[in-house]
Amino acid sequence: MSKEKNEANLDKVSGSVKETVGKVTDNEKLQSEGAAEKVKGAVKEGIEDVKDTVEGIKEGLSDKEDK
C-alpha cells in the first residue's frame, strides 16, 4: 500500500474516532471535525485509486505497444 493510501486510511480512522468522541461528549465541533476528516480521507483514497487505475492502463498500453 502506498504512503498516500496509508495517510488516507489514517485520516478516515482518526476522523471516525473524533466523530465518535464528539457524539459521546456532545461536542458538535469535534463531531464535525471528525466527519470532515473522514471525508478528506475518502477523497484522498479515491484520488489514489484513480492514480492506480491510470497507471494500470498506461502499463497495459505499454505492453501492447511492445508486442
Residue 51 pLDDT class (50, 70, 90 cuts): very high
Domain ranges of the chain: 3-66
Q: What is the pTM of this model?
A: 0.80
pLDDT band at 49 (very low <50, low <70, confident <90, very high): very high
Q: Specify the pLDDT at position 67.
A: 62
How far apart are the C-alpha atoms of 19 and 42, rounded to whole Å?
15
Region 57-64: mean pLDDT is 85
Burial of 45: CB neighbours in 10 Å, binned 0-12, 13-18, 19+:
middle
Q: What is the pLDDT of residues 17-39, one digit of tens each?
A: 999 999 999 999 999 999 999 99
Burial class (CB in 10 A: 0-12, 13-18, 19+), 6: exposed
